[in-house]
Structure 1
Amino acid sequence: MFETVGTGDPVLHSKLFIADEVPYNLLHLICESGDNLRLKTVDDTMVFAQTKGFNAWLWLAKEVTEARRETLFRQLIDDHLELDLPGISGEPETAEYFAKMYSKAKHIRYEPYMSWSHIIALRLRSRQASLVKCAGLNNAMWIS
C-alpha cells in the first residue's frame, strides 16, 4: 500500500533513508511540490517521486527482501497505469529491476546509463522509437 509523501515526512528523516540520502537528496525537493507524484510505502521502506515529464526517483531500503521488492514494484506499476516515465533514478540494482518490470508492462525497452558513480540511469524507448527518431522527433525515455 502506498500513501502520499510530503515535505518533512518522517520517511525522509528515518535512519533507513538517511543512510542513503546523499544520492537521493533531490527527493526532498520533489516532495515539496503538491503537483508532483509523491508516494511512499506505509512502512517507510520505499519512496517514489516524479515531476511530470522528468525522470522519477526511486529509493528502496536495503532491508527489503527480493520478494517484497517485486510485490511493491508490481503494485506501483499496476496502481499507476498513467505513469509515463522518461527515466528512473536509483541504486543500480533497484533501478534496473524496476526498469525491467516497467518496460515489460509498457512493452518498451530500457538501456542502462550510468550518470553518477552510485546511481544508474536507464533509458527506455518504445519499439517504434527508432522510427520516430528517423523522423526527427525525440521520443527517447530516460531513466536516470
Structure 2
Amino acid sequence: MLLQKVHARDIRLDHPEFMDQEVQFNLIHRITDSEDAHCIQSEQGNLVFAQTPGHNAWLWLTSDMPDEAKRKVLSSLIKQLEQSPLPGVSGDPATAALFAEMYAERNNVQGRPFMQLESYFCPTLKRPLNVPGSWRQATNQDVDTVAEFLAGFSNRAYGVTVSSASQRPNAEATIAGQNLYLWIVDDAPVSMANIAHRSPRHGRINAVYTPSEARKNGYASAIVAELCAMLRQEGLLPMLYADVNNPDSNKVYRNIGFVESGNILDIKFG
C-alpha cells in the first residue's frame, strides 16, 4: 500500500468511507485546515494521518480493513514517522491501541490511555424549556470571566489545574474568533459554549462549561441548544465530543437531541 505525504489541503475527506465516520473523525477537518499540518494518506484513500505540531496525531483507517492489512499499513506509517516523534495518537479505540502498541515498541516509549471521547451529532434539536436567562456573543468586556471559565474547563475536562491569568490570552483569542457565546442570568454570565470549527457538513461545538455554583439549572443545555439552532440555520449538522467518564455532560447532550456516533481513544506517549 503506497503512503504519500501530502499538503494538508490535498487530503481527501470526501470519499464515502470517511464520510460514513465523519462525525467520529471530524477533528481531522480542523487539522487539515492548518498550514503547518503533517498529513499522510494512502493512494487508495483508506488511511488518513493528520497532525499539527505538538498535538496528538489523528488516525483514520477504513473500518473493514483486515487485521493483517492494518498491521502492514501501520508498520509502513510508523517507519515514515521515524523523524517526527509523536506526543500521542487519537482514533477509534482498536486502531489507536494497535498503532500505540506498534509505535511504542519501535520507538522505545510507553503509551498510556489519556481520555476516551464519545462523538455526538444532533439530527433533531430538543430545546430545553423554562430555562431562565438569555444568550449573547462574548465581547472584550468578558475577558476576565472567560479566562476564569477556561481555567475551570481545563480542570474539569482534563484534570489540569491552571490559573485564570494564564488563560487570558486564550480567552482574548477565542473571543476575537466571534464564535464564543455566554448564557446570561441577572446580567451575569453563568455558562459558555463555543463553535470551534465549521467543516463542509458539520459545525463542532466545544468549551461547554458552567461553574459549579450555577450547575443543574439547564444553562449548558440552553446555550448549546442555541448554538445548534444557529448551525442548523447555516445548513450544518451540529456535533461535539464528550468525555465518556463525565456522565453529566453526556446526559445534557442526549437530552437536547445529540446521538452517539462512535468513540475516540486518546493515547499519550512518554
Is the TM value for this pair above 0.5?
Answer: yes
Q: Distance in 1 between the 2:110 and 2:8 partners? A: 31
Aligned to 1:136: none
> Which range moves more in the overlay, 113-122 or 59-68?
113-122
Letter in 2 for 1:77: I
**Aligned partner of residue 22 in structure 1, secondary structure:** coil
Q: Report SS of the residue matched to 2:96.
A: helix
- 1:35-74 per-residue CA deviation (whole Å, 9 max, x = no partner) reads 2111110000010010011110000101211111111111
Q: Could you tell me which residue of structure 1 aligns to residue 61 of structure 2? A: 60
Compared with structure 1, are the counterparts of its residues 5 and 68 closer, same or farther at alpha carbon in structure 2 (3 Å cutoff)?
farther
Q: Which has the larger radius of gyration?
A: 2
What is the number of residues matched between the two proteins?
A: 124
Tell me: higher relative CO, structure 1 or 2? Use CA pairs within 8 A at least 6 residues apart.
Answer: 2
- Are the structure 2 counterparts of residues 24 and 5 from structure 1 closer, same or farther at C-alpha, using a change threshold of 3 Å? farther
**1:131 maps to what in 2?**
none
Which blocks of at least 5 consecutive residues in structure 2 are unaligned?
A: 119-262
Residue 72 of structure 1 corresponds to 73
Report 1:130-141 matches (<5 A).
none
- Cα distance in structure 2, aligned partners of 1:25 and 1:5: 18
* 1:115 positional shift: 3.0
Contact kept, 8 Å, 2:8 with 2:37, in 1: the verdict is no
1:55–1:85: 8 Å Cα contact kept in structure 2?
yes
Amino acid at match of 2:64: E
> Which position in structure 1 is the counterpart of 2:84?
83
Q: Are 1:7 and 2:152 matched, yes or no?
A: no
Counterpart residue number, 2:268: 123
Aligned partner letter, 1:45 = N
CA contact (8 A) 1:114 1:121 kept: yes
Q: Hey, what's the Cα distance between the residues in 2 that align with 1:108 and 1:49? A: 21
Q: Distance in 1 between matches of 2:268 and 2:35?
A: 26
What's the C-alpha RMSD, in Å, of the aligned pairs?
Answer: 1.5
In structure 1, stretches of 5+ residues that fail to align are: 126-144
Q: Offset at 1:114?
A: 2.9
Paired residue for 2:17? Answer: 16
| Contact 2:8–2:38 (CA under 8 A) maintained in structure 1 | no
Q: Secondary structure at the match of 1:81?
A: coil
User: What TM-score, normalized to structure 1?
Assistant: 0.79
Indicate if the aligned counterparts of 2:28 and 2:50 stay in contact, CA closer than 8 A: yes
